[in-house]
Structure 1
Amino acid sequence: MVTAHGSSRPGAAYDRMIATASVRRVPPEWLRRCRPGGIMVVPLRGALTGSMVARLTKLPDGTAVGRILHSPAAFMPLVSGPSGPTQPPAVPDGWQFPQADAEVSGRVLDDWTFSFFAQLHMPQGLLLTHGRTGDGLHVTTLFDHGDGSVTRIEDSSSGPPKVTSSGPRDLWAPIQSAHRLWRRLNRPRREWFTIEATPTTQTVTYTAPDGEAHSWTLQGP
């Protein structure tokens, strides 16, 4: 749902647009309907529960630029077209696949200061669930229905967390890599990230104090 301020004529352009449902990317129609100089506030959401909220200003060339706001948000996603699975396949305790030690527990995704950053490294359509094993240990399951990859990250009572994967990819590897980068960048806050949106490409960028820039392309329809 979008609340707009401006003319109510069909096809009219608007000075202000506030979305009250989250999207993976700013829809091209919203960009088109925002008048140059107008402002859009849009919750952007991927696989994780929390959304990032972008505040964008429309430029004369049709691009919208702005920043991610500080506070996380939890808006219902806007749904269009056929939907895929809503839950990963059941993975029983004692799953018999090769295991490896994990660098970090799945609990790192409970930290909203990191989960925002992790979201930028997760592919479109990735599903995530978390809970506890029969022994009361934290467990996170990731599932990509595109290629059937399933990865389970389970805390251990006697050592580092364990990663178990089935399918062509280890889905936890990009998150661990993101965690290393996040720490190297001294845990950048979400309001330090900029966003640029065109009808075809939408990019989130962080520029470190030393001038090193890191960019991620938002995925989705």
Structure 2
Amino acid sequence: MTAAAPGGAVLVVAEELDAAADMVVDRLHQLRESGDLRTPRWHAALLATPRHAFLPAFHRPDAEGMVAVHQGDRDWLDAVYRNEPLLTQITEGIPTSSSTQPGLMLRMLEALAVADGMSVLEIGTGTGYNAALLAHRLGGANVTTVDVDPALTEPARERLAELGLAVTVATGDGALGHAPRAPYDRVIATCAVRSIPPAWLEQLAPGGLVLATVTTGLHGSALALVGSDGHGRFLPERASFMPMHSQADPGFYALQAQAGPATGERVTKLVPPLDETTAFILGAAMPQVVSFGLPDGDVPGLYLAHRSDGSWAHVLHDGRTVQGGPQPLWDEMEQAHAEWTSAGSPLPHELSITVDGTAQRVHTLDGTLSYALPHTPG
């Protein structure tokens, strides 16, 4: 099914190329039907960009955990051309990179509203597939992609070069952007951030746009489109990405180790699990709080922890709540929830975002609700 290419790359033989071509046509039809693909230019870019060239292997779950699927395996090609995300890297047992669901990728690229001649900075190289789509649309010389992990950037650079796409691939902290090729007309992030890194706006040309997924410590996310003037809005599209390395939350055990003594137990009407919208809003209201879903067992439910002061709350699915440390976190969560519902429970896409350097906030237009995003590196 496969043959070795110079430099150790793997080529797809004729039978697989024919099958891939048919799958691309089917996928394009599905993406048009779903509304993810709306413009001829992106249709052409998808048609010209073989996703399989960027996914020689990926991981998927089975009954015994994660298993690797390699090029040439029976269902490799079929999985590559489904409208699904694929896990591509696991580091010390933790997922660290994936290939984005093509439908979401297209919705974001459409929302980016690029035009001929524009330059784009992509944060989060991954496999290189998204950068390839941008390069087919704008020309490789107009695309720069950055990732902190050389284990990702090196193969992505090789894959792009094999397809004749002269994309600039840089290894470094994406929160810092890539100043040598600034200014950019567009910045797009395929990783999640707690707040917009100031460098992205600093490296943006006047009238430019940043498109990034803002996530909260409660794991709610919303897709933000921010102009070079620092004013922006959230889009109706749902997007979820792995966090940027420099903005990742502390781990459960590290926060549990600093937990203060229990201060009380009661029953709450606000019980987990929290839906995506609620997790985004309440997470924005409490930016110093991180949540963890505990597995089923003796103590299932949701665990909240303050990043620094030892406050915590453990809320079970039946409403039983235990809190500890200097702040009653679940009391504050209930108060934030009451304020949100009193304001009419606005959805994320009904909110605005304002970025002024490290001072950033999510708010309603009338100022009824206003949440300060956390200061983060970058």
Give the TM-score taking structure 2 as reference length.
0.48
Counterpart-to-counterpart distance in 1, 2:247 and 2:213: 20
Residue equivalent to 2:350: 192
Whether the 8 Å contact between 1:72 and 1:112 is mirrored in structure 2 is no
Corresponding position of 1:122 = 286
State the Cα distance separating 1:17 from its structure 2 match.
0.9
Residue 220 of structure 1 and its aligned partner are, at CA, apart by 2.8
Aligned partner (choices 1, 6, 23) of residue 193 of structure 2: 23
Aligned residue among 253, 278, 296 for 1:132: 296
Shift, 1:200, TM fit = 2.7
Task: Give SS of 2:338's match.
Answer: helix
Instruction: State how far apart, in whole Å, the 1-side matches of 2:346 and 2:353 are.
Output: 15
Q: Offset of 1:212 from its aligned partner?
A: 5.5
Residue 81 of structure 1 and its aligned partner are, at CA, apart by: 8.4
Displacement of 1:67: 0.4
Per-residue CA deviations over 1:177-199 (Å, capped at 9, x if unaligned) read: 12212222222111110111121
Within the alignment, does 1:149 sit opposite 2:302 as a pair? no
Q: Secondary structure in 1 aligned to 2:285?
A: coil
Question: d(CA) in 2 for partners of 1:114 and 1:127?
Answer: 13
Q: Write the deviation string for residues 117-176 of structure 1: whole angstroms up to 9, x where unpaired.
A: 111112335242233343xx85211122411122111233xxxx1211121121112221
1:114, 1:187 within 8 Å by CA — same for their partners in 2? no
Residue 82 of structure 1, CA deviation: 9.5
Q: Note closer, same or farther for the CA distance 1:36–1:141 as it changes in structure 2 (3 Å cut).
A: same
Contact conserved, 1:151 with 1:164, CA < 8 A, in 2?
yes
Task: Measure how far apart 1:113 and its partner are.
Answer: 2.4
- What is the distance in 2 between the residues matched to 1:106 and 1:69? 26
Instruction: Return the alpha-carbon distance in structure 2 between the equivalents of residues 119 and 206 of structure 1.
Output: 16
User: Pairwise CA RMSD of aligned residues?
Assistant: 2.8
Instruction: Indicate the residue corresponding to 2:220 in structure 1.
Output: 50
Q: SS in structure 2 opposite 1:173?
A: helix
- Structure 2 stretches of 5 or more lacking a match? 1-121, 124-130, 145-178
Q: How far apart are 1:98 and its partner, in Å? A: 2.8
Give 1:24-39 correspondences, 5 Å limit.
24-39=194-209
Mind listing any 5+ residue stretches in structure 1 that lack a counterpart? none
Query: Is the partner of 2:231 in helix, strand or coil?
Result: strand
Q: CA deviation at 1:97?
A: 5.9
Q: 1:40 to 1:96 in 2, by over 3 A?
A: closer
Q: Distance in 1 between matches of 2:369 and 2:215?
A: 20
Q: How far 1:48 moved relative to its partner?
A: 2.3
Contact kept in structure 2, 1:28 and 1:199, CA below 8 Å = yes
- Compared CA separation, residues 100 and 29, structure 1 to 2 (3 A): same
Name which structure has the greater RCO, CA cutoff 8 Å, separation 6+. 1
The structure that has the greater radius of gyration is 2
| Alignment of structure 1 residues 205-216 onto 2, 5 Å | 205-207=363-365, 211=366, 213-216=368-371
SS in 2 for 1:106: coil
Q: Is the 2:219–2:283 contact (alpha carbons within 8 Å) kept by the matching residues of 1?
A: no
Cα shift at 1:216: 1.1
The answer as to 2:333 corresponding to 1:175 is yes
Q: Distance in 1 between matches of 2:262 and 2:356?
A: 46
Structure richer in strand, relative to its length: 1
Partners of 1:75 and 1:82 in 2: how far apart? 12
**What amino acid is aligned across from residue 49 of structure 1 in structure 2?**
H
Deviation at 1:112, TM superposition (A): 1.5
Tell me the number of residue pairs that the alignment of Structure 1 and Structure 2 aligns: 202
- Counterpart Cα distance in 2 of 1:83 and 1:187: 27
Q: Percent of counterpart pairs with the same letter?
A: 27
Normalised to the residue count of structure 1, the TM-score between the two structures is 0.79
State the one-letter code of the partner of 1:34: L
- In structure 2, which of residues 261, 276, 299 is the aligned counterpart of residue 112 of structure 1? 276
Shift of the 72–48 alpha-carbon distance from structure 1 to 2, 3 Å rule, reads: farther
Alignment match, 2:244: 78
1:89 to 228, 241, 256: 256
CA contact (8 A) 2:222 2:239 kept: yes
- Native 8 Å contact 2:192 2:215 kept in 1: yes
Q: Relative to structure 1, is the Cα distance of residues 190 and 155 closer, same or farther in structure 2, using a 3 angstrom cutoff?
A: same
The alignment status of 1:101 with 2:263, answered yes or no, reads no
Preserved CA contact (<8 Å) 1:192 1:206: yes
